[in-house]
């Protein structure tokens, strides 16, 4: 949780119903950043970035990773070797833990790295069963085959329920969540098609 400076708390006051007969409302103020407010994603990002910079000299690669590969509360990154991945993940967990953030749900397609994470207390075991799939930044990652894909079922259901109009197609395309840009070529193609109609 991200704390709010004491001088700024007065700007985050609200009324609370106490259900007392004599005193109906009490004025309270937020001490922590409110989850769900418009500025929450920015405050989270700015707080993490501020905290991570303190480790720039000691862990330059990890700081770069946390600065560029962190999207809201998802970290998506890879490494060339198992040892490099173990080192980066241990550093990231340590840096974020120092700030009060707990990096968890570590996931990999490497059984060796998964075993090392469990051995070092960085992760709980996630099974490598057949067709083990995980949602990552709007995409579906198949751990067994190490490939990413898109679940288009909700989009197709949306199109079916709305009918085939320009508005429904654009509305459906606007629902696509793809911060990594993997399916942007398809989205752009659909938008161009709608312009030509």
Say how far residue 119 (Cα) sits from the centre of its chain.
Answer: 25
Q: If we measure between CA atoms, which residue out of 10, 15, 11, 12 comes closest to residue 27?
A: 15
Contacts 24+ apart (CB under 8 A), 178-185: 178/137, 178/138, 178/139, 178/150, 179/71, 179/137, 179/138, 180/76, 180/137, 180/138, 180/139, 182/139, 182/148, 182/150, 183/150
Most confident of 14-18, 77-81, 138-142: 77-81
Is 60 within the bounds of a domain? yes
* Whether residue 65 has pLDDT greater than 60: yes
Contacts of 156 (CB under 8 A, 6+ apart): none
Our count of domains for the chain comes to: 3
Q: What percent of the chain has pLDDT over 70?
A: 94
Give me the mean pLDDT over the 151-169 stretch. 83
User: 84 is in which domain, residue-wise?
Assistant: 39-130
Q: Is 89 exposed, middle or buried (0-12, 13-18, 19+ CB in 10 A)?
A: buried
Give pLDDT, residue 62: 94
Same-domain check for residues 71 and 121? yes
Give the pLDDT band (50/70/90) at residue 124.
Answer: low
Q: What is the pLDDT of residues 78-102, one digit of tens each?
A: 899 999 999 999 999 999 999 888 8
Same-domain check for residues 63 and 125? yes
Give the pLDDT band (50/70/90) at residue 190.
Answer: confident
* Whether residue 125 has pLDDT greater than 70: no
Give the chain's count of helices (H) and strands (E): 7, 7
pTM greater than 0.75 (yes/no): no
**pLDDT: which is higher, 24 or 115:** 115
């Amino acid at each position: 949780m991200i704390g709010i400076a004491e001088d700024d708390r007065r700007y985050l006051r609200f009324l609370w119903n106490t259900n007392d007969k004599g005193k109906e409302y009490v004025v309270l103020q937020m001490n922590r950043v409110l989850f769900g407010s418009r500025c929450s994603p920015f405050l989270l990002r700015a707080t993490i970035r501020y905290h991570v910079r303190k480790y720039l000299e000691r862990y330059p690669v990890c700081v770069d990773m946390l600065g560029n590969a962190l999207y809201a509360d998802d970290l998506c990154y890879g490494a060339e070797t198992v040892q490099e991945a173990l080192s980066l993940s241990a550093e990231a967990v340590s840096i974020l833990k120092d700030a009060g953030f707990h990096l968890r749900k570590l996931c990999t397609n490497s059984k060796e790295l998964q075993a090392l994470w469990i051995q070092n207390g960085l992760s709980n075991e996630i099974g490598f069963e057949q067709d083990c799939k995980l949602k990552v930044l709007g995409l579906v990652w198949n751990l067994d085959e190490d490939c990413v894909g898109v679940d288009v079922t909700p989009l197709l259901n949306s199109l079916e329920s709305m009918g085939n109009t320009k508005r429904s197609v654009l509305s459906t395309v606007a629902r696509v969540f793809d911060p990594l840009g993997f399916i942007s070529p398809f989205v752009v193609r659909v938008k161009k098609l709608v312009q030509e109609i």
